[in-house]
Amino acid sequence: MSSEFIVLLIVIATALAFDFTNGFHDTANAMATSIATGALSPRVAVAVSAALNLVGAFLSVEVAKTVSGGLLQIGNVHHMDLLHIVFAGLVGGIVWNLFTWLFGIPSSSSHALFGGLIGAALAALGTSGVLWTGDQKTGVINKIIVPALLAPFVAAMVAALGTFAVYRLTRRSRPDRVQTGFRWGQIGSASLVSLAHGTNDAQKTMGVIFMALVAHGTFTNADDIPFWVKVCCAVAIAAGTYLGGWRIIRTLGKGLVEIDPAQGFAAETSSAAIILTSAQFGLPLSTTQTATGSILGTGLGKPGAEVRWAVMGRMATAWLFTLPAAAVVGALCWWIADTAGGLLGVLIDFAILIALSAYMYLRSRRNPVDTSNVNADWDESGPAAAAPTRPTAGAPTGGA
């Protein structure tokens, strides 16, 4: 077995690990509001979301094509160098995902991945290694920056208008019946977001793995993405989704706006419509930013609702740092791999990734968030997302 083939296997395994973190990091985008309103129990919610992420991964490959061929200038890059770039970018994405999950911050897994890839490409090839602009189907600015700036604002506007319309149309109805009806409606709307998430996010890992396969020479850019790649990515993101990601679910469900079923339905419907539309055009949209913007919009659209702007400020700060922070990690990983050389450098990076992941997991166990306390009252006086009040003995527990 050649060293290049071993590196390829490590890259594929790391890509699937990123896909797994993407799943539990972004479960909140679909299910946070349904869990917060009681439309679905926590365990049922993540099970439904996992199943629909699995299905959604097979619905389109447009985003995967964008990731595999529309962001980096890799035409003349040596195949081993390209494998190192892809690997370093994946490490950058995983580290940022785990860091933000530890603190319960809903940040973009997509932008973490792209930041890692861009940082590694800059370190390896300089500014010419990144396709900054291109036609409507390529380029970092067209495919990442512009959608990142527009998505939360468009989602907030759509959700605010939808929420206002809901309360306007139902103002003469019995409140208890209205909320019960929307609680049932949330099951459908949350399911649609989960389907959209699988369609959008699983494809990003498909694109990365296909890029690695092209770099190794197994496939060419003209080939279709292999079916086994689609299956592995679908299973990985579904498994991560089922794990829960309770820390971020808590922040989106309880921290930003006190959600009722009507608001939850409006937020989920808005998110699903925007994400599914973007997927059909090959836009690797941040589902986190879209879902967060939608939840914020429901707070703006409901008369008298409270929006916790301090929480929104922390999220926005994380969004600003996602691309550059992941890029720095990606660049450092490239430097380590390049300095140590070949397989040894990749193994050193891989060991560092495992050590950092283990540390952040063990650190999270000091104040766990799970099904027993994910809906505890939000307390702004402390790190509410990471350390809510624990339930009394005998309460059900589970999750991670």
Q: In the chain, what are the domain boundaries?
A: 3-364
In whole angstroms, give the CA distance from residue 329 to residue 115.
9
Q: Single out the residue of 86, 123, 196, 155 nearest to residue 297, CA to CA.
A: 155
The structure tokens 């409606």 sit at: 185
Is residue 392 packed enough to be buried (19+ CB in 10 Å), middle (13-18) or exposed (0-12)?
exposed
pLDDT value for 334: 93
Work out whether the CA dihedral 138, 267, 303, 386 comes out positive or negative. Answer: negative
Q: Single out the residue of 268, 276, 262 nearest to residue 293, CA to CA.
A: 268
pLDDT value for 110: 84
| Regions in the chain scoring below 70 on pLDDT | 61-70, 74-78, 134-138, 279-280, 282-284, 380-400
Residue-wise pLDDT for 381-398, tens only, equals: 544 444 555 544 443 344
Residue-wise pLDDT for 204-238, tens only, equals: 888 889 888 888 888 877 788 899 999 999 999 99
In whole angstroms, give the CA distance from residue 266 to residue 171.
16
pLDDT value for 29: 85
In whole angstroms, give the CA distance from residue 151 to residue 293.
8
Residue 52 corresponds to which tokens in the numbers above?
């629909």
CA within 13 Å, CB half, 130: 22
DSSP letter, residue 388:
P
* DSSP string computed for 314-346: HHHHHHHHHHHHHHHHHHHHHHHHHHH-HHHHH
In whole angstroms, give the CA distance from residue 312 to residue 111.
18
In whole angstroms, give the CA distance from residue 363 to residue 101.
11
In whole angstroms, give the CA distance from residue 87 to residue 85.
5
CB atoms within 10 A of CB 385: 25
The structure tokens 């968030």 sit at: 369
Cα-to-chain-centroid distance, residue 396: 28
pLDDT value for 70: 63
Record the pTM. Answer: 0.87
pLDDT value for 396: 39
Work out whether the CA dihedral 194, 97, 239, 228 comes out positive or negative. Answer: positive
